């Protein structure tokens, strides 16, 4: 990909490739006039062969550009470069706490036990729920919620990227690529071969994000192909039954994002992904509130109608987790118990 360095895409100059995955490549770019820096996503060229791609891409791009929210990565422009025949999106360049892009997946990968604390999880997933509720009110479904698509900005807040991108690229294309990736995995080509065969496995290398620079080398096409395949397998892990095709006739909708949210919630609290009859999260992590189990179980219902109906309903549930009232009740209960122990009894 060295030939794309310094390439102009409209008013934007590509500087350095900073990520790659099943939905395309991400480059650090700069507006040649304002000198402001952006993240530029180049979509897979294979996806553009779909006859409906162009109309779908610009329709979804228009919706993406309207999503202005503090916990959503803003899309500023969508375009097509005739010289390279590449379609692209221009997005906010999100610097993490250490000055470079960082995803929630990377935070998990570097934590000692592969998970987040209850307190940190509550902050970030509530922010994600706020973003989902906002986007769904605008009629936009993400379709690919997972830790690799949650960026952490320099203020320590969560921001969702790639809203609506799966639909823009085309669900049939994504499913086809996932199927091919599964075949590669079954033949031992990928480094994370247990992706579909190891229940409740710890996190592996199946998700990539803006900051996974060590897994992609611009001069290594095999590594790039492997990274793309692993990213798609990561997507598969979070797909709802209707997205996987297990519920014929059921359309992808807001409840599909709710399911993926539930998988992500279980993952970040326990360090594992739920599989089959998964143990409740509170039984895997000492001190974890059973309130999380209730939310996760509702999100992971097989039928969409049995999950939270939308992001707004999910957000209400999230705000009820460990809130001031329940915290006050716990303190009050402890005080009453201490008083009972200290006060003398009659007789």
Whether 283 maps to a domain, the answer reads yes
Per-residue model confidence as pLDDT tens digits over 305-328: 999 999 999 999 998 886 443 444
Report the percentage of the chain scoring pLDDT > 70.
72
172-186, 194-208, 232-246, 265-279: least confidently modelled range? 194-208
Q: What pLDDT was estimated at residue 343?
A: 41
Whether 73 maps to a domain, the answer reads no
pLDDT at 335 over 90: no
For 315-339, give one letter per residue: b (16+ CB within 10 A) or e. Answer: beebeebbeeeeeeeeeeeeeeeee
Whether 270 maps to a domain, the answer reads yes
Look up the domain containing 126 and give its range: 95-324
Which CATH number covers residue 278? 1.10.510.10
What is the tally of structural domains in the chain? 1
Whether 301 maps to a domain, the answer reads yes
Backbone φ and ψ of 103, nearest 5°:
-100, 165
pTM exceeding 0.85:
no
Pick from 35, 158, 53, 181: nearest CA to 103: 158
Whether 176 maps to a domain, the answer reads yes
Whether 232 maps to a domain, the answer reads yes
Q: Which has the higher per-residue pLDDT, 330 or 71? A: 71
Whether 341 maps to a domain, the answer reads no
Whether 345 maps to a domain, the answer reads no
């Amino acid at each position: 990909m060295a030939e794309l360095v310094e390439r102009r895409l409209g008013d934007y100059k590509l500087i350095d490739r900073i990520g790659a995955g099943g939905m395309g490549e991400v480059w650090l770019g700069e507006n040649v006039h304002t000198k402001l820096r952006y993240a530029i996503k180049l979509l897979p060229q294979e996806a553009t062969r779909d006859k409906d791609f162009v109309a779908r891409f610009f329709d979804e791009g228009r919706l993406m550009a309207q999503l202005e929210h503090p916990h959503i990565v803003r899309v500023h422009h969508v375009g097509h470069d005739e010289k390279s025949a590449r379609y692209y999106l221009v997005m906010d360049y999100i610097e993490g706490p250490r000055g470079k892009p960082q995803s929630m997946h990377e935070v998990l990968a570097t934590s000692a036990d592969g998970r987040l604390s209850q307190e940190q999880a509550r902050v970030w997933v509530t922010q994600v729920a706020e973003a989902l509720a906002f986007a769904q009110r605008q009629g936009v479904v993400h379709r690919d919620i997972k830790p690799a698509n949650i960026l952490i900005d320099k203020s320590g807040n969560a921001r969702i990227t790639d809203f609506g991108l799966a639909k823009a690229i085309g669900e049939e294309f994504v499913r086809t690529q996932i199927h091919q990736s599964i075949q590669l995995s079954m033949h031992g080509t990928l480094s994370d071969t247990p992706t579909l065969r190891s229940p409740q496995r710890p996190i592996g290398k199946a998700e990539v994000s803006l900051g996974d620079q060590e897994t992609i080398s611009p001069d290594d096409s095999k590594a790039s192909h492997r990274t793309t395949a692993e990213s798609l397998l990561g997507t598969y892990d979070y797909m709802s039954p209707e997205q996987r095709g297990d519920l014929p006739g059921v359309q992808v909708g807001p409840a599909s994002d709710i399911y993926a949210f539930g998988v992500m919630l279980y993952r970040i609290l326990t360090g594992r992904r739920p599989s089959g009859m998964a143990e409740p999260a509170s039984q895997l992590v000492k001190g974890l509130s059973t309130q999380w189990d209730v939310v996760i179980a509702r999100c992971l219902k097989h039928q969409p109608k049995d999950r939270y109906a939308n992001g707004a309903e999910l957000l209400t549930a999230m705000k009820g987790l460990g809130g001031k009232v329940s915290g006050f009740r716990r303190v009050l209960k402890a005080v009453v118990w201490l008083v009972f122990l200290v006060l003398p009894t009659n007789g």
